[in-house]
């Protein structure tokens, strides 16, 4: 079994997509061993509990330094033999010690086509607000490896979604979640679990061509 830890902070729709794809066997030989929430009372935690997945809250606000938070996260994962950490709407930064301990084993889903509308302060609904203010006709989602900065690691998959006239940040967010995030996040997990993603500098290569 390929063992996932999923880090969350919000509603948990991306976590749910992973749960559903495991349940319907599109993701085979993959299990979610634990969910870690960066705050209390998230929808994501409820989804994990409903699915019978071990969920811990490691509340960012309980720690007054990045180092202390990293240490608590590392302790939560110790002895779990995690193969991949998936940041699925996780809104806290991971520090250098944590990222180095899990080098090339952390991925993130971001709700825009990176490098547009990403970086510090652009998370959740904000990238969609920024995209509409800018007037782009296409936005989308990106799955990328995580390094020590916000949204800068090598890109694994991206999917574009049309911006429609009359879109609000909320309608655009929903369409991007449904048409892009919930598709490419499970795909990226499947590719990595199958050993089909190679990283070379900023580039990633999918071995075996087209995604199946």
Burial annotation 4-20 (CB, 10 A radius, 16+ → b, else e) = bbbbbbbbbbbbbbbbe
Which is catalytic among the residues 110, 120, 128, 144?
110
Q: Does residue 37 bind ligand GAR (CB under 6 A)?
A: no
* Pair 113, 142: CB distance under 8 Å: yes
Q: Does residue 10 bind ligand GAR (CB under 6 A)?
A: yes
Given the rule CB under 6 A, which of 19-27, 78-86, 97-105, 108-116 is the region that contacts ligand GAR? 108-116
Site string for ligand GAR, 73-92 (x = CB under 6 A): ---------------xx---
* Pair 5, 85: CB distance under 8 Å: yes
The count of residues interacting with ligand GAR (CB under 6 A) is 16
The span from the CA of 129 to the CA of 108, in Å, is: 20
Q: Does residue 109 bind ligand GAR (CB under 6 A)?
A: yes
Binding ligand GAR (rule: CB under 6 A), the pick from 14, 38, 139, 187 is 14
Residues 6 or more apart whose CB falls under 8 angstroms from that of 117 comprise 127, 128, 130, 131, 134, 139
The span from the CA of 53 to the CA of 64, in Å, is: 28
* Pair 95, 66: CB distance under 8 Å: yes
Q: Show the tokens assigned to 4.
A: 């996932």
Q: Does residue 110 bind ligand GAR (CB under 6 A)?
A: yes
Q: Confirm whether 110 is a catalytic residue.
A: yes
Report the residue number, 27 or 109, with the smaller CB distance to ligand GAR: 109
Backbone angles phi, psi at 141, to 5 degrees: -140, 160
Q: Does residue 11 bind ligand GAR (CB under 6 A)?
A: yes
Min dist. Cβ of residue 80 to ligand GAR (A): 22
Min dist. Cβ of residue 70 to ligand GAR (A): 18
* Pair 80, 33: CB distance under 8 Å: yes
Q: Does residue 144 bind ligand GAR (CB under 6 A)?
A: no
Residue found under tokens 């993959």: 30
Q: Does residue 181 bind ligand GAR (CB under 6 A)?
A: yes
Binding ligand GAR (rule: CB under 6 A), the pick from 123, 156, 163, 189 is 123
Min dist. Cβ of residue 146 to ligand GAR (A): 10
Eight-class DSSP state of 154: P
**Enzyme catalytic residues:** 110
Residues found near ligand GAR in the complex (CB under 6 A): 8, 10-14, 44, 88-89, 109-111, 123-124, 177, 181
């Amino acid at each position: 079994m390929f063992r996932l830890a999923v880090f969350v902070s919000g509603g948990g729709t991306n976590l749910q997509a992973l749960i559903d794809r495991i349940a319907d066997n599109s993701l085979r030989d993959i299990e979610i061993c634990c969910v870690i929430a960066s705050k209390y009372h998230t929808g994501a935690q409820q989804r994990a509990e409903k699915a019978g997945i071990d969920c811990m809250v490691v509340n960012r606000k309980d720690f007054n330094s990045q180092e202390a938070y990293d240490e608590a996260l590392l302790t939560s994962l110790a002895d779990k033999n995690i193969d991949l950490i998936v940041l699925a709407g996780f809104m806290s930064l991971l520090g250098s010690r944590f990222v180095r301990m899990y080098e090339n084993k952390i991925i993130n889903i971001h709700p825009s086509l990176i490098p547009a509308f990403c970086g510090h302060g652009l998370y959740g609904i904000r990238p969609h607000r920024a995209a509409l203010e800018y007037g782009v006709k296409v936005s989308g989602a990106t799955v990328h490896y995580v390094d020590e900065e916000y949204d800068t690691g090598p890109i694994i998959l991206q999917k574009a979604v049309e911006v429609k006239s009359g879109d609000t940040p909320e309608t655009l967010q929903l369409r991007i979640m449904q048409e892009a995030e919930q598709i490419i996040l499970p795909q990226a997990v499947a590719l990595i679990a199958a050993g089909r993603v190679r990283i070379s500098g900023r580039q990633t290569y999918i071995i075996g061509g087209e995604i199946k």
